[in-house]
A and B are shown apart, each in its own frame.
Chain A
């Protein structure tokens, strides 16, 4: 409960911080975000006045916050598209990548971490070390480019983008029977009964999910490994061994449960690296998700989408950390009861 109360001022602070960052721009420059035509450039002072950009800061903050909360208005992007709608439209592509990547990360992280921890300095441990070094040293965008070059340019297996040309033609044909339900290609294709579209979607997802999960699972592996090592050194392990339990039972029943607790804590922080990772992976594979949208806008200094994206990722990050805290208390009896 205390966590929940702490999370609200942090979120509010994040909103104020983003607002303050934008305030660094002079009013005339912020007014230019509202114009649709270069010819209007001369009227910038009037536009600034009309939108209240010369008002005192707290009045502006009130207007901005009201627009944000009531109308869910994050401003317009460079194509005069409301940022909120643009993001909603692109959300499924991002969700699809993260949806497949996160279980893989957790599986690799926990399995490899437990194996590496219980086989210290053996081959599997060295393997996990190599993975960890890769995860921290390889630039994810470069890794993605190399994979694309090998598996698309060279072998032609896994193309970039969300779907191939035939699928796009099929979906956007005027007499198509295709219907969007969830916006996720791999799920909607099954609902529509089009198995070939499902296969196409999977083919397009393999590389981005690989890049995202391989590099991000490194942290999880390391954390699980070290907490596994710590757990194996505890007295209750010695006691369990002394009772004559098999190694398997000791490792999986006694040590693993306790080793998983730090791994759960880390998964809250993982959300941040996932959000960052998805921004880069989507750009490399041009998946058309919100990360790519923000990156493209940032490259041409189109402010509203980037600000909106930063705000949303902060909200997602804080809320997921909150969930992790609750989960943590639920799993660990020392916290639940203490």
Chain B
């Protein structure tokens, strides 16, 4: 049985059912979204190890019809999206009670999940754009959900920049269609590989690649396209910050960059222009690592610190992918490219776990103490032992303390970078890993340990519905650090192979 369309159909249907049933069923949002995200997370986890599947919508074979594809890379993203979404919904049940209009919240949340799932299973460029817009519009509204002055301003900024990104992506989609005459990704990849190969890429395709890179980098918040993120993430409600940082910027940004450039455009030493694209990805990644890390140190707002840290960590993810791309583009060995991509994808998965954990913890802390100003926090382990412990674990993981998960993924990325012949970039990455450690030590000193802060005195541990997702994510973080042999060859390696073997994707979709 082919379950791929359900990843889109279930959340989309639930998103519209919630307000419909809401008039006579008050808890429609809570119940329906919990059940459906649990089901989606289960479906995603059960699809581990299954062979790649394609569904042709309406029975029209590609390239005429729209294809939905679930290969290794899609499975990796589907697991991250749906598991994080489920835990965020559980967290929301208690956390969101202080807001009004909850049915709208759950409805928008499910729309966002539907959009992201759609992006990662879509095999069609325009379809990808449509799902990207569905997820983006829902996330604009969710960032401004508090409708206070700050939330609205952050939401408006995100909305304007996000719309510019969408315009760029649509322009690029149109250009690819004009050149290749197809919107199906596999078909476009075949056209580009057969008709437009050669030392110089078709200039129109290069323009499209530039617009794709700008548009998706804006969605992924890579420096210098990051201006919306440090405002949007702290302003959103905590579960939405966790979703934005944990999965939205990855599925709309990093996944799309990886899929479009590896699968559709392809990196090969015969095409000189593909080296330019790889170098551009590397350049943005290094800028993100440096700028995100350095700006994070000076922050005293806990969520704003986490937001800047997201920029830096996304830089590591794209660095792994970019090194892989540059190795392929310069004709290096495939095993080295595979190592770099594996590191990037591993960091993507780790970041989804520990950053959503950190943002949810920040929400729990804000709920219990009423502040996220780190100067007024401190000594949290006395008053909120569970939240303090999970925050601590996540901080260890993201700072790259061995044997936690962040250490291994950063290590793989840095080793691959050195072996690929970029010692300067590798030393920057190592240096900034220590900066990451520095600002998470600051988090530990100011928030978890130390004297009990002014705001913490009366704080009590949050209810179980809020700390259970934290504990689950903390276990996942530890698991990613210690149990690579268990999940690595089932989740990460198929995803890596999906990126490396573009030809197999073409064969899969076009038959």
Do A and B pair up? The answer is: no
Chain A residues within 8 Å of B, Cβ to Cβ = none
Chain B residues within 8 Å of A, Cβ to Cβ = none
